[in-house]
Chain A
Amino acid sequence: MTTEGSEPDGPPLIELRGVKKSFGAVQAVNGVDLKVLKGKVTALVGDNGAGKSSLIKTISGLWEQDAGEILWEGKPVRLRSPKDSEALGITTIYQDLALCDNLDIVQNMFLGHEVLRHLTLDEASMEITAKRILAELEVTTVRSVRQPVASLSGGQRQSVAVAKAVMAQAKLVIMDEPTAALGVSQTAQVLALVKRLASNGVTVLMISHNLIDVFEVADQIAILRLGRIVTEGPIDTFDSSVVVDYMTTGRSERALAGDTSGNGSAQ
């Protein structure tokens, strides 16, 4: 937890100011202000159609926002392509995980970034690195890093995708519904992985429907409704009924005692 000291004061790793994105007549993202703090797990929650996916695709560089600005470590940046985002250290793990079933864990982790030796693939060094990263993430359930990904469970696949992000030395890992398709024990595995990622100093922006998971791992929460952030703040100033209120109506009468962020940014 080396980031402990800078946590309240340092600039957010990424900050969105008035970001808008529309598709024809549909205003998918309608002026979003969002701060993602360094080394923290920020949960982005919202009902279907709230604009979560459009928002993370903007951050991932799949398209540029129509209006508003994005600041990376306090400096304005333009994210016009996935490469721009990648260059900053943003890795997005989509629900489909983008893994190749026929390749093994090592091959997937290094896909597009293979290590060469004498012009051929250096399998040994890639295997060593892959093993080290999986060990750091305490992924212990895979028998061999040479297993094809097709033979892995959902949680293990998620682990491989995360390890791939770590290997790319990502500073910000965006996870889209990482637990959506998983059973109980696999969910626990992935949530533990998210925590470990954060404790290794990687910032996580996690999109989730599942409030139990959110309360389990998130440090910060931001609630999106109809393309706007209706409220954000430390997770311990919320409980699930409050979050549900915000998600569905954009306001809550039941704000917890001592909640300073309250209805701050609503409307």
Chain B
Amino acid sequence: MTIDQGGTTDGPSAGAGTAAAPSAAPPLDDHEALHDEETPADIALVSAAPDVLADSLGEYLKAWAKRIRNGESGALPIVLGLVVIIIIFQVQQSKFLSAGNIVNLLVQAAFFVTLGVGETFALILSEIDLSVGFVAGIGATITLALLSPSYGWPWWAAVIVGLLACAFIGAFQGLLITRLHLPSFVVTLASLLGLGGVLIFLFDSFKGTVGGVISLPTSGPLYNLVNGNMSAAASWIVLVVAVGLYALVTITRNTRRRAQGLSAPPLSITLATIAVAGVAGALLVIVCNVNRGNLVPLKGVPWVIPLVLLLVVLWTLFLGKTRTGRYMYAIGASPEAARRAGIRVQWIRTVAFTLSAFTAGLGGLVFASRLGSISVGYDGSTYVLYAIAAAVIGGASLFGGYGKPVHALLGGVLIAAVVNGLALIGVSTAGEEIATSLVLLAAVTVDSIVRRRGSTT
């Protein structure tokens, strides 16, 4: 069990076989929930949301429609694309929307999402980070090696050291890029090539590798990140607290804005948003709590799902609510304007590459937890492309200045849906890769056409 085909593939078939009772709940709902959870932190972000332009419901809807027409369609195309993809796969293979497969798909997505969120930091700055795939692998390898009986570190210490190693690699790349004025493409491409070698070196050096594989002890918290499930009661409590907090923050902020004479979204919209978030979250919890085990009962929300959502919320708040985050967007659009505004451009760039690598390290932990091991055949160069694809499909711009963690979330889920669905209907690897590339092209094309209309320059 612990070896699990050497971890060389992220094959969707790895756990897809856990058929379970079909469920009526489409996975789309939890994507909508995720999207809604973005809203509280999102308000003050990149462009004017309709809620800051309108007070009444009618005005709000008008502003929203206008915004879409102007090319600020936000997450709409990707959500629609997701619906289409889900319908196609569901028609082909009725197991696609089974509770077991939905949970499997979301767990698969967690890795793409986390790597994509890391990549988003680089994309916002109009840079690219090609190293996130292998950085994730290296962090996971260090952590798993330290956890193995040969070293026997406590889990938290092993995790911290693994993540620090990732952050260090990111900071080092950032320094090369900013101090030596090297293009990020070249520096991180060098990392992509070099870190693959470092990974092999680590496997040769560490004790505790068996046939090029380091297994994860099956009892620890790291193993339970993906393989452990919340109890039904716990998941409902978390959901209620999360939605309640969201409602509290949104309503308080809107009330304060109105008191100060500023525009705020109408209460009806706020309540509707909260309701949608609550319903979608509830559907997610219900689907996860359907028994998806074959022989032994298996149910509950895997821990990784709320934790990845928490990561997305935290990074969204960081980017939207702090100076450092604001400066990242400013630098991505115009480094010159940022410099003249007194922003320490090179420092912020270094921070972004550090955060990118750190977040990738978290992705590596998700990956290793899912497979229960990490192997020397870890394919970091493919995963980085999925990460970039996730962020870009979700709506981050390769030209800098735009992009939010929620984009990587949507894109990651979409990629996972494609990968998972194609494997489920038995398409060959060749077909799978071609289909993924077509989805990427389609998403970027839509984005480019839609966004080109939105600007006066």
Contacts and interface: CB of A to CB of B under 8 A. Distances in A.
Interface of A: 82-83, 86, 96, 98-104, 107, 111-114, 116, 119-121, 123-124, 127-128, 143-144, 146-148, 150-153
Interface size class of B (residues with CB under 8 A): 35 or more
Interface in B54-101: 70
Given A111-B343, A112-B338, A128-B261, 6 more contacts: A96-B336, A104-B47, A112-B343, A124-B257, A144-B53, A147-B48
6 contacts: A99-B337, A100-B329, A104-B48, A124-B256, A127-B262, A150-B454
B281 to A, nearest CB: 25
Contacts of B329: 100, 102-103
Nearest to A150: B455
Contacts of A143: 53
Contacts of B317: 120
Contacts of A102: 46-47, 329, 332-333, 401-402
Interface of B: 43-44, 46-49, 52-53, 70, 256-257, 260-263, 317, 320-323, 326, 329-330, 332-334, 336-338, 340-343, 401-402, 454-457
A203 to B, nearest CB: 20
Given A100-B337, A101-B333, A151 B456 contact: yes
Contacts of A96: 336
B456 A128 contact: no
Interface-centre pick from B43, B49, B52 (highest chain A CB count, 10 A): B52
Contacts, number: 96
B453 to A, nearest CB: 11
Given A98-B336, A124-B260, A111 B48 contact: no
B257 A101 contact: no
B333 A100 contact: yes
A147 B401 CA distance: 15
Nearest to B52: A146
Given A101-B457, A151-B70, A146 B48 contact: yes
B231 to A, nearest CB: 34
Contacts of A121: 44, 320-323, 326
A24 B48 CA distance: 48
Contacts of A100: 329-330, 333-334, 337-338, 401
B341 A101 contact: no
Given A103-B329, A123-B44, A143-B53, A82 B340 contact: yes
Main secondary structure of the interface of B (DSSP, over half): loop
Contacts of A98: 334, 336-337, 340-341
Contacts of B323: 114, 116, 121
A266 B330 CA distance: 46
B326 A114 contact: yes
Nearest to A118: B321
A101 B401 contact: yes
A123 B325 CA distance: 14
A103 B44 contact: no
Given A102-B332, A152-B456, A144 B52 contact: yes
A102 B125 CA distance: 12
A144 B48 contact: yes
Contacts of A114: 323, 326
A101 B334 contact: yes
Nearest to B403: A102
A146 B52 CA distance: 7
Interface-centre pick from B53, B329, B333, B454 (highest chain A CB count, 10 A): B333
Given A114-B323, A151-B70, A153-B456, A128 B333 contact: no
Contacts of B70: 151
A152 B47 CA distance: 12
Given A103-B46, A124-B257, A112 B333 contact: no
- Nearest first, the 10 A-B pairs at minimum CB distance are A112-B341, A146-B48, A102-B401, A98-B337, A100-B333, A146-B52, A150-B455, A120-B321, A111-B341, A102-B333
A153 B47 CA distance: 16
A151 B454 contact: yes
Contacts of B261: 128
Given A102-B332, A123-B44, A148-B47, A128 B337 contact: no
A127 to B, nearest CB: 6
Contacts of A83: 342
Contacts of B263: 144
Contacts of B333: 100-103
A100 B47 CA distance: 11
Given A102-B332, A124-B256, A144-B53, A112 B454 contact: no
Contacts of B46: 102-103, 148
A151 B338 CA distance: 19
A101 B402 CA distance: 10
A228 B321 CA distance: 49
Interface-centre pick from A102, A116, A152 (highest chain B CB count, 10 A): A102
Interface-centre pick from B49, B320, B334 (highest chain A CB count, 10 A): B334
Nearest to B335: A100
B149 to A, nearest CB: 43
A128 B262 contact: yes
A103 B330 contact: yes
Contacts of A144: 48, 52-53, 263
B341 to A, nearest CB: 3
A124 B342 CA distance: 23
B322 A101 contact: no
A91 B217 CA distance: 62
A155 B333 CA distance: 20
A124 B334 CA distance: 25
Contacts of B47: 102, 104, 148
A125 to B, nearest CB: 8
Nearest to B334: A100
B401 to A, nearest CB: 4
A150 B456 contact: yes
A101 B330 contact: no
Contact of A128 (B44, B260, B341): B260
B347 to A, nearest CB: 13
